[in-house]
Amino acid sequence: MAVGALIGAYQEDDTGALRALLPLAGRTLLEYQVRCASAAGAAPIVVIVERVPQALQDAFERLRLDSIGVFPVSDINEAISRFEAGSSILLIADGVAPPVELVMQMADQVEPAVAIVPDDEQHESYERIDAGSRWAGVAMADARLLGSTAAMLGDWDLQSTLLRRAIQEGALRVQASETGGEPLLVQSAEQLAGFQRVLIQASRGARTDFASRYLLAPIEDLATEQLMETRVRPMWLVWAALALTLGGAFCFSRGWLGAGLVLLVLSTPLDQIAARLASLRLRPLPAKMLSRLALWPAAGLAALAIGLWEMRHGPGWGALVASGSACAFAEAMRIEKAAMPSGGDLWLLSRRNAVALAIPFAIAGTWTAYLLGLLGYAAISFFIVQRVRHQITS
């Protein structure tokens, strides 16, 4: 069954501005709500507005640039016309910052449902449903109920009236706390600060290698917080990482070893920063994204370029053999590791760990020794992965 979304954006905050425009994770609260609905598979996404200031228009434009179809309407009948007959409608209340898990769970409901929170002091600003519960700001209704509610609406609030009619018709009640987090009903930007910190922390993901966990983490955190307020797209960062890696390989082939290493160091955090920005914007990077998949072979090309330069201007063909063998062991390890559960590879060879390993050898000017060290590192990592995998399958 098709699922659409209906979001309110007309109530004002403590300063007289729209609550929908309160800042959250570098964007606005409304953009976060729309992205939650889009991540849950809702389409179309209709936003009820009374006026469209420039800041709200800019938010709509940013969403459209990310290929998220959003339709602002001020007329109830126009809102109804956007939804197919018989479709389900995901309701997100004005001024509510819901966990994406709650939105996705409600979107999966096959019948009308209402997310609720306890009727206590902590939730006293939420709309009361009965003596024991209040509305959490997310619900699932159907187009039929929306149409009949609009016909009798008059001067009443559409979402509130629709909510109460859904409850009267026996909508399922879902405890919001059971989805892994409760929504936040906000009146000011200060109330969103804690929710934003939770979103930023949740975007960190797994730092699976030594370099990303202990060396790059502060850089990654700082860059994510700075870039989330810009229009920089995550895919641009991944392409930049690939370009820097290929640029490093070119520098190595020309003998500009220091410059090549600098380019590789600059490339190491970019794909993780991109993944975090994509997570914050609720548009995860594709698992088979070409530029992301190309980072591994591009790093191998850089290692071969070092070996080629050292062969021509150093100890001879042994350097090229060492770099080629290191690449072969690294690829074999990657193939073996692909069939294993994730985790437990903190100290194994990775693109970032290999770049970090090069720094002390570069300072000492012993690039051939680095290639030999890289070969030993790759070989040990391969045999560890192979042993662990065989223990799992045996």
Which strand ranges, in their side-by-side order, compose the sheet holding 88-92? Answer: 70-73, 45-48, 3-8, 88-92, 133-142, 113-118, 172-175
DSSP 213: I
* Separation of alpha carbons 25 and 112, rounded Å: 31
Question: Which of residues 193, 223, 243 is at a domain's end?
Answer: 193
Q: Are residues 29 and 83 in the same domain?
A: yes
Contact indicator for 337, 345 with CB cutoff of 8 Å:
yes
Q: Are residues 227 and 175 in the same domain?
A: no
Q: Are residues 7 and 90 in the same domain?
A: yes
Which structural domain, as residue segments, surrounds residue 251?
Answer: 208-393
Closest CA to 74 of 47, 42, 53: 47
Q: Are residues 267 and 142 in the same domain?
A: no
Counting beta carbons within 10 angstroms of the beta carbon of residue 280, is it exposed (0 to 12), middle (13 to 18) or buried (19 or more)? buried
Asked if the structure places residue 202 within a domain, the reply is no
Find the CATH number of the domain harbouring 172: 3.90.550.10
* Separation of alpha carbons 306 and 194, rounded Å: 47
pTM of the complete model beyond 0.75: yes
Find the CATH number of the domain harbouring 276: 1.20.120.1760
Q: Are residues 178 and 270 in the same domain?
A: no
Q: Are residues 232 and 186 in the same domain?
A: no
Q: Are residues 89 and 163 in the same domain?
A: yes
Q: Are residues 118 and 213 in the same domain?
A: no
Closest CA to 371 of 307, 276, 282: 307
φ and ψ of 189, to 5 deg? -65, -35
Q: Are residues 189 and 48 in the same domain?
A: yes
Each residue's pLDDT, cut to its tens digit, for the chain (394 residues) gives 689 999 999 888 877 889 999 999 889 999 999 999 999 999 999 999 988 899 999 999 999 988 898 999 988 888 888 888 888 999 999 999 999 999 999 999 888 999 999 999 889 999 998 888 999 999 999 888 888 877 776 555 777 888 888 888 888 999 998 876 789 999 888 889 889 998 998 888 778 899 999 999 999 999 999 999 898 999 999 999 999 999 999 999 999 999 999 999 999 999 999 999 999 999 999 988 999 999 999 999 999 999 999 999 988 899 999 999 999 999 999 999 887 777 668 899 999 999 999 999 999 999 999 999 999 999 999 999 988 887 777 6
3-state SS class at 84: coil
3-state SS class at 270: helix
Q: Are residues 180 and 266 in the same domain?
A: no
